[in-house]
Amino acid sequence: MPSYIEYEIVNNLLYVNKAYTPEEFRGRGIATRIMKEVIEYARENNLKIVPICSFAQYFFQKYPEYRDILANP
């Protein structure tokens, strides 16, 4: 199974519900790269992000430079 991020868009909000990377590929920054693509998509489509899953919440704590895209920074 590949790495992925599950999200849904409701009323111009992009909810990041789940991030998954197979155990053998963890620790390589794959989920971080995917999350940055989600952020790019949100920016291009004038969406704000709501981090629901623990990885998304951790991501925005670790990378404060991306917090401007959050619905509630």
Chain segment 53-69, per-residue pLDDT in tens = 999 999 999 999 999 99
- What are the E-state strand segments in 1-73? 4-10, 13-20, 48-51
Whichever domain contains 23, its CATH number is: 3.40.630.30
Q: How does residue 48 score in pLDDT terms, banded at 50, 70 and 90?
A: very high
Name the residue with tokens 């899953």. 53
Name the residue with tokens 């969406």. 47
pTM: 0.92
Number of domains, the chain: 1
Tokens representing 10 are: 């409701």
Tens-digit pLDDT profile for residues 14-33 = 999 999 999 999 999 999 99
Q: For residue 60, give the amino acid letter.
A: F
pLDDT at position 72 is: 86
Q: Please state the rounded mean pLDDT for residues 35-48.
A: 98
Q: For residue 20, give the amino acid letter.
A: Y
Run of H or E including 2: none
Segments forming the whole domain that contains residue 57: 4-69
Q: Lay out the sheet containing 13-20: strands in order across.
A: 4-10, 13-20, 48-51
